[in-house]
Structure 1
Amino acid sequence: MSLIASLPWYDLPVRQPKLDAFWSVLRNELHRLSAPLLPDRLPLPETLNRHTPLVEQWAHPALLLSQCCGPDLFTPQAQELVPIARPVFADLDGTPGQYFSHIVTARGREHRGSGRFVINSASSRSGGAALFEWAAASGIDCDQVLISGAHASSLDYLRHGWADLAAIDAHSWPLLDTRGITIIGRSTEAPTPPFVMHRCSPIGAALIRTALDCAIEQAGASIQIAELMNINGQTYQPMTAPWHISLPAGAGGISCATAHPSLSAGQRMSVDPEPVPGNGSLIPIGSLK
Structure 2
Amino acid sequence: MSLVASLPWYDLPPLQPGLDTFWSVLRNELHRLSAPLSSYRLPIPDTLDRHTPLVEQWTNPGLLLSQCCGPDLFTPQARGLVPIARPVFSDLDCTPGQYFSYIVSASGREPASPQSAGTVRFVINSASSRSGCAALFEWASANGIDGDQVLLSGGHAASLEYLRNGAADLAAIDAHSWPLLDSRGITIIGRSTEAPAPPFVMHQRSPIHAALMYEALSDTIQQAGASINIEAVMSTCSQTYHPIQIPVAWHARLPVGASPCCVLV
TM bin, normalised by shorter chain, reads over 0.9
Equivalent in the alignment of 1:6: 6
1:222 correspondence with 2:227: yes
Matches within 5 A, 1:63-82: 63-82=63-82
Give yes or no for the alignment of 1:84 onto 2:72: no
Q: What TM-score does the superposition give when structure 1 sets the normalisation length? A: 0.86
Distance 2:261 2:66 in 1: 23
Equivalences for residues 188-227 of structure 1 within 5 A: 188-227=193-232
Residue 150 of structure 1 aligns with which residue? 155
Unmatched tracts of structure 2, length 5 or more: none
Task: Provide the residue aligned with 1:137 in structure 2.
Answer: 142
Structure 1 segments of 4+ aligned residues over 2 angstroms from their partners: 110-114, 245-249, 284-288
State how 1:43-82 maps to structure 2 within 5 Å. Answer: 43-82=43-82
How far apart in 1 are the matches of 2:134 and 2:261?
A: 9
How far 1:233 sits from its partner (Å)?
Answer: 4.3
In structure 1, distance between residues paired with 2:238 and 2:261 = 19
Equivalent AA in structure 1 for residue 231 of structure 2: A
CA deviations on 1:213-265 (whole Å, 9 max, x unpaired) are 0000100011010101111343101121121145533x45xxxxxxxxxxxxx
Give percent identity, aligned residues only. 73
Q: Which residue of structure 2 lines up, in the alignment, with residue 119 of structure 1?
A: 124
Structure 2 CA distance, aligned partners of 1:97 and 1:91?
12
Provide the C-alpha distance between the structure 1 equivalents of 2:136 and 2:9, rounded to a whole number of angstroms. Answer: 19
> Hey, what's the Cα distance between the residues in 1 that align with 2:216 and 2:163?
40
Q: RMSD across aligned C-alpha pairs, in angstroms?
A: 1.3
Taking the aligned partners of 1:84 and 1:233, their CA distance within structure 2 comes to 9
Could you tell me how far 1:110 is from its partner in structure 2? 2.2
Residue of 228, 251, 255 corresponding to 1:244: 251
Q: What TM-score does the superposition give when structure 2 sets the normalisation length?
A: 0.94
Find the residue that maps to 1:287 and give its secondary structure.
coil
- Residue of 171, 175, 179 corresponding to 1:166: 171
Correspondence for 1:287: 263
Contact 2:58 2:203 in 1 (8 A): yes
Q: What's the offset of the Cα at 1:17?
A: 0.6
Provide the rounded CA distance (Å) in 1 between the counterparts of 2:63 and 2:153.
27
Q: Distance in 2 between matches of 1:227 and 1:220?
A: 8
On the 8 A contact 2:74/2:263 being kept in 1, the answer is no
**How many angstroms apart in 2 are the aligned matches of 1:248 and 1:62?**
33
Does the aligned pair in 2 maintain the 1:25–1:219 contact within 8 Å? yes
2:189 alignment partner in structure 1? 184
| Residue in structure 2 matched with residue 18 of structure 1 by the alignment | 18
Which has the larger strand fraction?
1
Task: Give the letter for the 2:256 counterpart.
Answer: P
8 Å CA contact retained: 1:2, 1:44: no
Q: Is the 8 A contact 1:244 1:285 kept in 2?
A: no
Counterpart contact for 1:2–1:45, Cα < 8 Å: no
Q: Distance in 2 between matches of 1:244 and 1:2?
A: 39
Note the alpha carbon deviations across 1:28-53, whole angstroms, 9 max, x for none.
00000000001110101010000000
**Higher share in helix:** 2
